[in-house]
Structure 1
């Protein structure tokens, strides 16, 4: 079954807009990756400064291939055109890993 990777980002209030703009600027770059299944950027709404970046992959190998290739390149260049790497919007980051053991979808009517 699929694997889920959740990047837990601590983002100070003054950096929220920056973080969201950076994700928006890179929108759709992950979608063509082999084994990619799903992406969501989750904004906190109740008293926390923690964003969640949810991705779902066919298997661990597909995630690792993306992490060592396209994701690594994007973070090294930071999306900057001038060659200067911008300051990270998040003050901390933790990666959670899960295997999907059960799932459900809405019933068709």
Structure 2
């Protein structure tokens, strides 16, 4: 299993709009082969990024998502926020899960 973490720096005055965008997301990723789940994490300290965290069976499944028409359609909605909503470039990180705790 892998995680893909997208750290997105959002100016505080646009935080509510950013969160609303995810509450009303297209959901196209949900039916992609190999997709497990996603989480949107709100920062607790000013200046820290939001984190969009997705879980995938493997890197091939994630790569297939990024090359799909559904990915292009889902991300076309990102135009709903103006450029000034973001305080810096996003940072994408991919990690392999090597252990899980009990729930």
| TM-score of the pair, normalised by structure 1 | 0.79
Q: What residue is the counterpart of 2:91 in the other structure?
A: 94
CA contact (8 A) 1:30 1:36 kept: yes
Q: Report the number of matched residues.
A: 99
Runs of 4+ in 1 over 4 A off after TM superposition: none
Q: What residue is the counterpart of 2:37 in the other structure?
A: 38
Stretch of structure 1 that moved more, 54-63 or 65-74 = 65-74
Separation of aligned partners in 1, 2:22 and 2:46: 22
The structure that has the greater radius of gyration is 1
Separation of aligned partners in 2, 1:90 and 1:30: 23
SS at match of 1:96: strand
When the two chains are superposed, the root-mean-square deviation of aligned CA atoms in Å is 1.8
Q: What residue is the counterpart of 1:16 in the other structure?
A: 15
CA contact (8 A) 1:11 1:50 kept: yes
Q: Which runs of 5+ in 2 are unaligned?
A: none
Separation of aligned partners in 2, 1:90 and 1:35: 30
**Cα shift at 1:24:** 1.1
Q: What residue is the counterpart of 1:82 in the other structure?
A: none
Q: What residue is the counterpart of 1:52 in the other structure?
A: 51
Q: Which runs of 5+ in 1 are unaligned?
A: 80-84
